[in-house]
């Protein structure tokens, strides 16, 4: 049986509401992440699927668990909501993983809580599968993210546009504390709670900061640095989160809350998928700005524990906030340089990277496949007209800018010592071949929802677990959508 600690639930009572998940009718295990279960050292080797379904639907509460719904607030599309909270989720408790890190075990779709407002507390199967796929793909890319441990169908219907099958996702995170959790207490003027929450986050996520002179300022700096790195990684795989509200930004700097998120097919910095983001606040290219804005809200919420004199506190947080842009740009450029095959920095790199992006945009080229084809063009380092370059060029509806860019890129590569095959191999390890394409995600969700066929979902997960490797027989999964397959909008599904 799984044993859980209850660290968050040991914080003061006004941090959460204590309640158990609502029982569901007929829990059935759809997917269980055994690799993650091992990493978490969960004692489940002798559990049947029925037992796992009972635990990860909330029907059977593990020993020691002290389930709570966490309180939080948040800015949603710029407007402050002083009380949000886990309206359809429950933190079951924590486990210590093999590396000694505490991780939250959290159920999403587990019934109404005091924070549900008008909602039913439930999740539909489609969004559960989507979050499972995308979070595990992010992990396979090496991007910090919450993980998916289990997906269970409930045997109950949820009412959305119509009746849909219900499901519950078990999500694992280093912590579910969000920028909005701090805002919840700041909005109530509860300085003691802010300090307790900050101490909790330092202890759980950034323990080395506790001994410093200014641990709360250091916490702010650590989150700024972590988010600068995280958002740069998103940009490098064409990921669009879709709802970067402050309640969806984790203090752990893990990607969290995969609602209407999506990966870009053809490159366009203005891309928006989310049906509720009508003004493009969270468009692809706006994500670094949205993150900086959220971090300023985080700093505001922390002011009272940074200095008792407000003016002094504001002065102290200003420089770290201003550093976000430089940190982000540094991380972005580091990753992009590797994506185009460069090993050593040079002053001309930003323009070179930008040139490739502009060529893709002008050529309506697929973001993921263009970088991947660039690996082959780097391997095939002889003159243009060889297959690597021809395959890259074929991705461009209009290749004029690409043709102009290639010689400058080749000249830059020639100035580096790496052999072409070694360089190409290094490039393949940072340029995924497989991403969770929208049309593929929608296809596996349709099969699950309409036919109760989970095999396509399992197959897609398997492919995305090794996104950088060619997988014979799965070539079609790398393809962008055909015009009739294109998905232009995604929905929260809440």
- The catalytic residue positions are 247
Contact 219, 337 (CB under 8 A): no
Which residue, 85 or 363, is less far from ligand AMP as judged by CB? 85
Smallest gap from residue 183 Cβ to Mg ion (A): 13
Which of 23-31, 249-257, 455-463, 464-472 is the region at the interface with Mg ion (rule: CB under 5 A)?
A: 249-257
The Cα–Cα gap between 345 and 219 comes to: 30
Smallest gap from residue 276 Cβ to ligand AMP (A): 9
Among 121, 165, 355, 436, binds ligand AMP (CB under 6 A): 121
DSSP state of 475: G
* Residue 9, CA distances (Å) to 26, 44, 68, 69, 352 in order: 28, 24, 7, 9, 51
Verify binding: residue 156, ligand AMP, rule CB under 6 A: no
The Cα–Cα gap between 334 and 340 comes to: 10
Among 39, 94, 136, 257, binds Mg ion (CB under 5 A): 257
Smallest gap from residue 248 Cβ to ligand AMP (A): 5
The Cα–Cα gap between 307 and 304 comes to: 6
Closest residue to Mg ion, judged by C-beta, is 257
Residue 82 binds which entry of ligand AMP, Mg ion, none, CB below 5-8 Å type-dependent: none
Interaction residues for ligand AMP, span 75-94 (CB under 6 A): 84-88
What is the 3 state secondary structure string of 350-382?
Answer: HHHHHHHHHHHHHCCCEHHHHHHHHHHHHHCCC
The Cα–Cα gap between 335 and 345 comes to: 11
> Hey, which residues does 373 pair with through a beta bridge?
none
Interaction residues for ligand AMP, span 363-382 (CB under 6 A): none
Closest residue to ligand AMP, judged by C-beta, is 119
Q: Cβ contacts of residue 365 below 8 Å, gap of 6+?
A: 266, 267, 359, 395, 396, 397, 402
Which residue, 171 or 423, is less far from Mg ion as judged by CB? 171
Contact 361, 380 (CB under 8 A): no
The Cα–Cα gap between 169 and 50 comes to: 16
Among 243, 253, 299, 360, binds ligand AMP (CB under 6 A): 243
Nearest to 143 by CA among 286, 288, 252: 252
Which residue, 257 or 381, is less far from Mg ion as judged by CB? 257
Which of 221-229, 251-259, 394-402, 412-420 is the region at the interface with Mg ion (rule: CB under 5 A)?
A: 251-259
Which residue, 2 or 240, is less far from Mg ion as judged by CB? 240
What beta strand segments (E) does 239-279 contain? 239-240, 262-263
Interaction residues for ligand AMP, span 244-283 (CB under 6 A): 247-248, 257, 259
> Hey, which residues does 255 pair with through a beta bridge?
145
Which residue, 77 or 344, is less far from Mg ion as judged by CB? 77
Q: Cβ contacts of residue 221 below 8 Å, gap of 6+?
A: 320
Among 31, 110, 236, 248, binds Mg ion (CB under 5 A): 248
Which residue, 122 or 337, is less far from Mg ion as judged by CB? 122
Which of 98-106, 117-125, 327-335, 337-345 is the region at the interface with ligand AMP (rule: CB under 6 A)?
A: 117-125
Residue 88 binds which entry of Mg ion, ligand AMP, none, CB below 5-8 Å type-dependent: ligand AMP
Which residue, 47 or 122, is less far from ligand AMP as judged by CB? 122
The Cα–Cα gap between 111 and 90 comes to: 9
Among 12, 82, 119, 310, binds ligand AMP (CB under 6 A): 119
Name the residues that contact ligand AMP, by CB under 6 A.
Answer: 84-88, 115-116, 119-122, 243, 247-248, 257, 259, 492, 494
């Amino acid at each position: 049986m799984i044993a859980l600690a209850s660290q968050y639930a040991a914080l003061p009572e006004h941090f959460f509401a204590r309640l158990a998940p609502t029982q569901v009718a007929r829990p059935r295990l759809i997917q269980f992440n055994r690799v993650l279960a091992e990493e978490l050292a969960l004692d489940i080797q002798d559990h049947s699927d029925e037992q796992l379904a009972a635990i990860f639907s909330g029907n059977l509460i593990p020993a020691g668990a002290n389930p709570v719904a966490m309180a939080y607030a948040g800015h949603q599309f710029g407007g402050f909501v002083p009380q949000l909270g886990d309206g359809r989720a429950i933190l079951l408790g924590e486990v210590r993983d093999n590396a000694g890190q505490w991780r939250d075990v959290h159920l999403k779709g587990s019934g109404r809580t005091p924070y549900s407002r008008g909602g039913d507390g439930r999740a539909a199967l489609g969004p559960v599968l989507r979050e499972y796929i995308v979070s595990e793909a992010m992990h396979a890319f090496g991007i910090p993210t919450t993980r998916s441990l289990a997906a269970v169908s409930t045997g109950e219907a949820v009412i959305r546009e119509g009746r849909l099958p219900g499901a519950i996702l078990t999500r694992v995170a280093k912590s579910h504390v969000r920028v909005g959790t701090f805002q919840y207490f700041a909005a109530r003027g509860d300085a003691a709670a802010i300090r307790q929450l900050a101490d909790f986050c330092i202890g759980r996520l950034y323990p080395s900061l506790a001994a410093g002179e200014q641990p709360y300022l250091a916490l702010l700096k650590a989150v700024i640095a972590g988010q600068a790195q995280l958002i740069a990684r998103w940009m490098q795989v064409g990921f669009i989160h879709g709802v970067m509200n402050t309640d969806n930004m984790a203090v752990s700097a893990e990607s969290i809350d995969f609602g209407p998120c999506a990966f870009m097919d053809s490159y366009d910095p203005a891309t928006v998928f989310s049906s509720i983001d009508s003004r493009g606040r969270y468009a692809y290219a706006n994500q670094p700005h949205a993150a900086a804005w959220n971090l300023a809200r985080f700093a505001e919420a922390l002011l009272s524990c940074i200095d008792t004199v407000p003016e002094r506190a504001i002065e102290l947080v200003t420089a770290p906030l201003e550093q976000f842009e430089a940190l982000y740009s540094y991380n972005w450029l580091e990753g992009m340089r590797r994506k185009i095959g460069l090993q050593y920095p040079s002053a001309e790199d930003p323009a070179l990277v930008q040139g490739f992006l502009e060529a893709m945009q002008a050529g309506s080229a697929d973001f993921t496949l263009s970088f991947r084809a660039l690996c082959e063009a780097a391997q095939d380092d002889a003159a243009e007209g060889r297959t690597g370059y021809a395959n890259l060029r074929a991705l461009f509806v209009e290749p004029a800018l690409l043709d102009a860019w290639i010689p400058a890129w080749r000249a830059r590569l020639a100035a580096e010592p790496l052999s072409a095959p070694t360089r190409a191999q290094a490039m393949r390890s940072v340029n995924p071949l497989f991403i969770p394409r929208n049309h593929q995600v929608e296809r596996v969700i349709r099969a699950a929802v309409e036919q109760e066929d989970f095999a396509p979902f399992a197959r897609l997960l398997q492919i995305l677990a090794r996104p950088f490797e060619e997988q014979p027989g799965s070539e079609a999964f790398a393809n962008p959508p055909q015009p009739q397959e294109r998905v232009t909008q995604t929905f929260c599904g809440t």
